[in-house]
Structure 1
Amino acid sequence: MVLPKIVANFILLLILSSVANAEQPGILTLQTALNIAVMDNPSLAQIQMRSKAMAAIPSQLGSLPDPVISFNALNLPVDSFDLAQENMTQLQGGISQAIPFPGKLALREQAATYQAEAAVHDVIEARWLLLRDVKKLWWTLFYLDRSLDIIIANQDLLRQFVKIARTKYEVGEGLQQDVLLAQLELSKLLDNELRLTGAKSKTRAQLNALLNRPADQKIILAKEFSGTLPTLLKESELFQQAENSRAMLASQRETINAAQSRLDLAKKDFYPDFKVGAFYGGRSDTLSGLERSDLLTLKLSMTVPIFASSKQQRAVDQRSSELMQQRYALQDQWNQVRAEISTAYSEFQQTKNQAVLYNSGIIPQARQTVASMLAGYQVNKVDFLNLVRSQITLYNYETQYWKALTQANQALAQLSAVVGKEEIYE
């Protein structure tokens, strides 16, 4: 008979919808995606090159200015250009060196060193943000794959419902409206499939961009997943970890140190800079043959900060304000980090509990309800509309389970990036 065969197919589809498919070759695991992103992402490489460039700056600023070598012709008569005509005519060569006031070079190098250290932390921060984005997109793609699998399974089930309704209608035990209703729900599922397929293409392109691959490159994800979610550390412990580990905060602290060094350097500008030089002048013999001695010239000059009130003092005021700005920025960032931790922590706990509830309670009960209603419908004890509604409800619950599981893992990705550590579990 047709109906028992359809029931058997229905039960088989229910079982298949809850069992993961076998592993396929070329699967992009989450860890593989993370490794590719760290190695190939151009945005991260750009920040790494910036850090490398900044590491070369401190030694430049800590070195003395290049010495100046000069060659001069002094007191040369323009009527004859004869080197022996005038007593003071000489050809002179010399060298001079600018010397900043003691401590200035060290402060310049120190400020640049702090900025270079901040750039190193910026690379670490960018890496965490990249890993977070890759994780979120990977899990979104994972959710879309599971949702499409559920839709396809439910389409097959609704087609079975159509056959059941048509069979009962042909033997005079059913209504034509039951067939039409099942076809309508099947069309709705086809519409959802189109929507999710479009979202999957968009997410795939975004993930491929982070992996530095062509936007249309195919991505295959594993269908197996344990579904087990970890237990997080206490929120206060995550705050403490973030304070010690978050690269963004460490970068801002180095920026504050650099601002302090610039303030100290501005205060040093009240003191003069020096310039020393030595010049040797060679003189020719006189026209009568008398020998003339060569001359040695030594020079020492210094800057005089006579405009200190409008220049140096203003620079000190500027650097003081910049230092306070960076300190306020650190406090603002710390407040933001704590808010992000609390938000991600709360979202993880909520979605974790939802996933557990769906998987252990709601979905098994919904499956039993569908099987019971199907059996009742075959003996005319259940209305076909209620049967279809129960199946659509099961479809929604299964989709919501994968969505909650995905959101929980995305919250974990956000939490790891905000804290700056992977070890956030008990």
Structure 2
Amino acid sequence: MFPVMHRAGPRRWSRTVAHLVIALLALPACASSQSPAAPPRDSLRLGTLLDAVERGSPRLEAARATARAARARVPGVTRPPDPQFQVGWMNYELPGLRPMDVLGMTQVQLMQMVPVAGKLRLAGEAETARADASATRVMDVSLDLRARASMIFYDIYVADGTLGVARDTKRLLQEISDLAAKMYQVGEGRQADVLRADVELARMQEDIIRMETMRTTMAARLNALLAAPSDAAVGAPQLPRFPAALPTLDSLAQLAERHRPMLRAGEQDVEAADASARLAQREIWPDVQVGVQLGTQGGAMGPQRMGSLMVGASLPVFAGSRQLQMREEASAMRAMAAAELASMRADTRGAVGEARADLVRARRLTELYRTSVLPQAEATVTSSLASYRVGSVNFMTLLDAQMTLNRYRQELVTLEAEEGKAWATLEMLTGRVLVDARSAQPARPAGEPRR
């Protein structure tokens, strides 16, 4: 229940309230024009963030360790099996353990299995291709992490920008609510205006709480990528300068086909599968085994020394269920690798087209908002202000015009972030840097169009 006040001087109150409302609605524009050009002290540039991801991501370190492990396997597969060395005491008496006359002897034997038909070379080619694929996937993991970090970076930018607009709007609504209450107290306003202003104020506080929670969540996700404490402070993102010209779809598709690490790793997987298939074709060839044997035997004329040379080969008696099945397996694995590569190429082409479409949409809508939507919304607010001063529009019309302008400012922030996300996606798909992440756009209030 609002207190009852005397209605003396209604014209004076009307003029005072009108002037105060005009001044309050002009506050956001004044604040925008007086904002410093320098970025805030706790600002965060995209390049700084990406450098931190490269240095501190556990996932990237795991990928590098996997690549080192794969490379370490290459020398081993190009060498034959280890030779076997045996020492034997043959024909000794029991339990005395004395060599029997004529028959007792001490023997030393060395055996070596030698793969033939180029098996070691083909095994080395297959393992080298797998190691190359693992090394290439390190770059793919790096690009994926950069893209994920960029997405969170732009999400935080949206949260900060939306919060800035929402807080400005809340301050404005609070003042308007107070003015509406005073006008109602002196008989110059309606209770419905007071209630509507209070409802809008509560709704704006709800939006602020929601965006603050979103900001905290996004910061925790970003810290998880950096292996940092979840509550570590994250500065205010500062947009990089986006390229003025948009690359054509054909040029982006060609870049992705030539340079995307995922596709290069898929090609290396096909090379490994092809070498494995050729190796499986030769597994049916028997492997040769060579042995040398030296023996010493006592005799009446003194110790007698003797030697033997042995040559053998493996017999593929189970070829139907072993070597021939290895051929079938290798052929299927090669077909699978080729199909996966074809699928990745098709997915990449589709993703490039989708990302460029998102980029074009965000760029065009951003330009539309800056050159048409926001100026028209600002003109509507100015017109409503003038009409409110002479009494030709009511309080709600003025409030709705200002709320619409603030909503457009929030949408402009979202469009700017969507353009950044599209560039980040294209960088991941093409494997090339398309945006100078160390650059920064001039600082300006959230949702304000560039002049």
2:245 maps to what in 1?
A: 231
2:121 maps to what in 1?
A: 106
| Superposed displacement of residue 255, structure 1 | 0.6
Tell me, in whole angstroms, the C-alpha distance in 1 between the residues paired with 2:240 and 2:185. Answer: 45
**2:162 aligned with 1:147, yes or no?**
yes
Asked if the contact 1:238/1:424 (under 8 Å) is kept, the reply is no
**2:91 aligned with 1:91, yes or no?**
no
| Superposed displacement of residue 391, structure 1 | 1.3
| 1:80-116 residue CA offsets vs partner (Å, 9 max, x unmatched) | 4322x32121111122211111411111111110000
**2:81 aligned with 1:32, yes or no?**
no
| Superposed displacement of residue 384, structure 1 | 1.2
347, 352, 359: which one aligns with 1:341: 352
**2:62 aligned with 1:51, yes or no?**
no
> RMSD of the alignment, in Å?
2.0
274, 288, 306: which one aligns with 1:260: 274
Q: Using a 3 Å threshold, how does the CA distance of structure 1 residues 218 and 18 change in structure 2: closer, same or farther? A: farther
Asked if the contact 1:162/1:183 (under 8 Å) is kept, the reply is yes
Tell me, in whole angstroms, the C-alpha distance in 1 between the residues paired with 2:296 and 2:35. Answer: 94
What is the one-letter code of the residue matched to 2:58? P
Asked if the contact 1:276/1:299 (under 8 Å) is kept, the reply is yes
Tell me, in whole angstroms, the C-alpha distance in 2 between the residues paired with 1:367 and 1:220. Answer: 30
**2:129 aligned with 1:118, yes or no?**
no
- Secondary structure of 1:260's match? helix
Q: Single out whichever of 177-186 and 162-171 deviates more from structure 2.
A: 162-171
| 1:114-145 residue CA offsets vs partner (Å, 9 max, x unmatched) | 00000011101111000000000000001100
**2:310 aligned with 1:299, yes or no?**
yes
What is the one-letter code of the residue matched to 1:45? E
**2:210 aligned with 1:195, yes or no?**
yes
Q: Single out whichever of 5-14 and 176-185 deviates more from structure 2.
A: 5-14
Asked if the contact 2:263/2:341 (under 8 Å) is kept, the reply is yes
Tell me, in whole angstroms, the C-alpha distance in 2 between the residues paired with 1:284 and 1:244. Answer: 74
Q: Single out whichever of 262-271 and 230-239 deviates more from structure 2.
A: 230-239
Tell me, in whole angstroms, the C-alpha distance in 2 between the residues paired with 1:155 and 1:253. Answer: 56
Give the alignment of 1:52-67 within 5 angstroms: 52-67=68-83
177, 184, 197: which one aligns with 1:182: 197
2:88 maps to what in 1?
A: 72
Tell me, in whole angstroms, the C-alpha distance in 1 between the residues paired with 2:389 and 2:187. Answer: 13
Q: Which runs of 5+ in 2 are unaligned?
A: 1-15, 437-451
Q: Single out whichever of 344-353 and 157-166 deviates more from structure 2.
A: 157-166
What is the one-letter code of the residue matched to 2:172? L
| Superposed displacement of residue 170, structure 1 | 3.9
1:245 maps to what in 2?
A: 259
Tell me, in whole angstroms, the C-alpha distance in 2 between the residues paired with 1:339 and 1:65. Answer: 48
- Secondary structure of 2:26's match? helix
| 1:257-284 residue CA offsets vs partner (Å, 9 max, x unmatched) | 1111111111111211111111111112
What is the one-letter code of the residue matched to 1:66? D
Tell me, in whole angstroms, the C-alpha distance in 2 between the residues paired with 1:325 and 1:36. Answer: 37
- Secondary structure of 2:87's match? strand
- Secondary structure of 1:63's match? coil
405, 414, 418: which one aligns with 2:416: 405
- Secondary structure of 1:28's match? strand
Give the alignment of 1:198-213 within 5 angstroms: 198-213=213-228
1:217 maps to what in 2?
A: 232
- Secondary structure of 2:236's match? coil
1:388 maps to what in 2?
A: 399
| Superposed displacement of residue 421, structure 1 | 1.2
Tell me, in whole angstroms, the C-alpha distance in 2 between the residues paired with 1:292 and 1:134. Answer: 79
Paired positions, count: 420
**2:287 aligned with 1:273, yes or no?**
yes
Q: Using a 3 Å threshold, how does the CA distance of structure 1 residues 251 and 20 change in structure 2: closer, same or farther? A: farther
Q: Identity of paired residues, percent?
A: 25
**2:432 aligned with 1:421, yes or no?**
yes
| 1:11-41 residue CA offsets vs partner (Å, 9 max, x unmatched) | 1323325775653334321111100001100
Q: Using a 3 Å threshold, how does the CA distance of structure 1 residues 74 and 245 change in structure 2: closer, same or farther? A: same
Q: Which runs of 5+ in 1 are unaligned?
A: none
| Superposed displacement of residue 306, structure 1 | 2.8
Tell me, in whole angstroms, the C-alpha distance in 2 between the residues paired with 1:43 and 1:19. Answer: 44
1:378 maps to what in 2?
A: 389
Asked if the contact 2:242/2:420 (under 8 Å) is kept, the reply is no
Tell me, in whole angstroms, the C-alpha distance in 2 between the residues paired with 1:179 and 1:17. Answer: 28
What is the one-letter code of the residue matched to 1:319? A
- Secondary structure of 2:112's match? strand
